[in-house]
Structure 1
Amino acid sequence: MERTRMQMMGDKPKIHPTAPLVSRGLAASEKGGSSQSQSQQQPPLPLRTMPAAMQSSKPQKTRSCCCKCICWTVGLLVLLLVIVGATAGVLYLVFIPKIPDYSVDSLSISDLRLNFDMSLYAKFDVKITANNPNKKIGIYYEKGGLLSVWYSNTKLCAGSIPKFYQGHRNMTKLDVSLTGQTQYGSTLLRALQEQQQTGRIPLDLKVDAPVSIKLGRLKLRKVTILGDCLLVVDSLSTNNLISIKASNCKFKLKL
């Protein structure tokens, strides 16, 4: 009856999608959503990096160059030290150097007085003997040598050592005039007078002599001879020869 009614109305029957088609569309949409979520959740691929060997090639080359430079420098320094030591050893064995020594022959006082400004003026005359004990070494005494007399860490007077050349195994007599002026002279003169009553006055004679050494025909660079002579004299009376009761001298070479 329904069919006849539809035929009579002249309408075509409407077609509705079946359930399997709808479920397939839902499944496809779900699959697409799941693949999209998986693509969103998948971590990004790491950037391509250079191999470790290629990255570290330049620092390794730099370090190797530095190590080679350091090794060459140390090797050259060691070689230089060996050459210098060997040369010094050969020179020592050939020339057998010895430090010159000095002795104080006499000491006299020309003037010792108190000035108006209460400073102490002193003038000493010292005769010394310089001895060069070396067989193959000559000594040039250069300008600037100094001889000084001290009492209780106070310099009384000083004088210049003359410039001269001293040959092999030579003994040279030197006469040096020393003058000086010291502040607080009254206190110093009083101490010297009190010391003179004992008959033993300690004095310190210091030598500072720049010299050049001659090895054969070769003249080496300048060095300094430092000397220290501890003297004990009986008096400080002027214009009289002073007796030296004790003398102890030590010398060293300053390069």
Structure 2
Amino acid sequence: MADHLKIHPVVDIEAPPTAPLVANSSSKASERGGSLLHVKDMNPAPPRAQPPPGPPPPQFRQTTPLIPSPPPRRKSRSFCCKCICWTISLLILILIILGAIVGILYLVFQPKIPKYSVDRLQISDLRLNTDGSLYAKFDVQITAKNPNKKIGIYYQQGSHLSVWYAKTKLCQGKFPKFYQGHMNKTRLDVSLTGQAQYGNTLLGALQEQQQTGRIPLDLKVDVPVSVKLGKLKLRKVRILGKCLLIVDTLSSNSVITIKASSCKFKLKL
């Protein structure tokens, strides 16, 4: 019975392993005829997960550097703009200077348009020609007054003075050439002659109008003059005017009464 009883050693589970245990395990492994290296080869560890491959590194190539093209030249354009600006500025400056000069002259001389009036009208001849035209000869006395204290007026050649009835020119003449001084009043005797077509019809209309005692006539004036400011003589201008006359008769060699007179004049540069 003593042979059948076996005493088994109690192993302390909480006790740390000792060195002989490790030696025994290694001896057992050697007894199996393999080494630890062989065990590892027979049971290899699972492969470690590799990170996904990233993008390939950039490949650098040696290229010729791009040279930026120079901006287009704007010298010609800027020069043209400067020329235009200078020209406009110069014109504005000239206009300002001229305006200042005109304003100064106006304040110094205070120019006024000459005044004209018809003092007397006489018909020397009014008859029918053999060709059916109407011949007329008028003698007109006109008073020209220069109201300016510092301005003289030169009456030049090329003036026109005419008498009209119902848009038909009866006769015409011209002003004499003369100089009119400051604050001067001059009486001018002007002879007007002319021929009008359709004499029979025109004479009949004048005679019919004469029965009313009021015959309308238009006296038109176009006179070129030069103005003298002190000792300075300016360029030629024109005096344009129109007088509406109402007379009582057109009988030849008779005294004609001017019942009404209305005149308007303007200066044309």
> Do these two structures clear the TM 0.5 threshold for a shared fold by scoring above it?
yes
**2:231 is the alignment partner of 1:204:** no
Counterpart residue number, 2:76: 62
What SS class does the counterpart of residue 242 from structure 1 fall into?
A: coil
Counterpart check, 1:187 vs 2:187:
no
Q: Does 1:236 align with 2:250?
A: yes
Counterpart in the other structure of 1:149: 163
Match of 2:206, as an amino acid? Answer: L
C-alpha spacing 1:78/1:121, structure 2 compared with 1 (3 Å): same
Partners of 1:187 and 1:65 in 2: CA distance: 72
Please point out which of 108, 122, 128 is paired with 1:108.
122
Q: Deviations over 1:207-232 (max 9, x none)?
A: 11000000001100000000100000
Point out where structure 2 has 5 or more consecutive residues left out of the alignment.
Answer: 1-62
Gap change, CA 1:181 and 1:49, over 3 Å in 2: farther
- Per-residue displacement from partner, 1:57-96 (whole Å, max 9, x unpaired)? 2xx2121011100100000000000000000000000000
Name the CA distance, whole Å, in 1 between partners of 2:180 and 2:160.
17
- Give 2:149's match in structure 1, choosing from 120, 125, 135: 135
Secondary structure in 2 matching 1:89 = helix
Could you tell me which of 134, 138, 141 is aligned with 1:124? 138
Unaligned regions of 5+ residues in structure 1, if any? 1-44
Q: In structure 1, how many angstroms separate the alpha carbons of the residues matched to 2:184 and 2:68?
A: 81
2:77 alignment partner AA: R
The aligned amino acid for 2:137 is K
Amino acid corresponding to residue 92 of structure 1 in structure 2: Y
Q: Secondary structure at the match of 2:112?
A: coil
Letter in 2 for 1:190: G
Aligned length in residues:
207
**2:235 alignment partner, one of 204, 221, 226:** 221
1:176 aligns with 2:190: yes
Judged with a 3 Å threshold, the aligned counterparts in structure 2 of structure 1 residues 169 and 49 are, in CA distance, closer, same or farther, namely same
Provide the rounded CA distance (Å) in 2 between the counterparts of 1:96 and 1:55. 61
Please list the CA deviations of residues 100-128 of structure 1 after superposition, one character each: whole Å capped at 9, or x if unmatched.
Answer: 01000000000000101000000000000
- Which residue matches 1:165? 179
CA distance in 1, matches of 2:213, 2:93: 60
Aligned-residue CA RMSD (Å) = 1.6
1:81 alignment counterpart: 95
Structure 1: distance between partners of 2:255 and 2:211? 17
Indicate whether 1:246 and 2:260 are aligned.
yes
Moved over 4 A (4+): none
Could you give the per-residue CA deviations for residues 135-186 of structure 1, whole angstroms, max 9, x where no partner exists? Answer: 0000000011111100011110001100000000000000000000011111
The Cα offsets for residues 11-58 of structure 1, whole Å up to 9 and x where unpaired, read as xxxxxxxxxxxxxxxxxxxxxxxxxxxxxxxxxx9xx6752xx2412x
TM-score (norm 2): 0.75
Q: Residues of 1 paired with 2:135 and 2:179: CA distance?
A: 33
Cα offsets for 1:191-217 (capped at 9, x unmatched): 111100100000000111000000001
Give the greater-gyration-radius structure (CA): 2
The percent identity for this pair of structures is 73
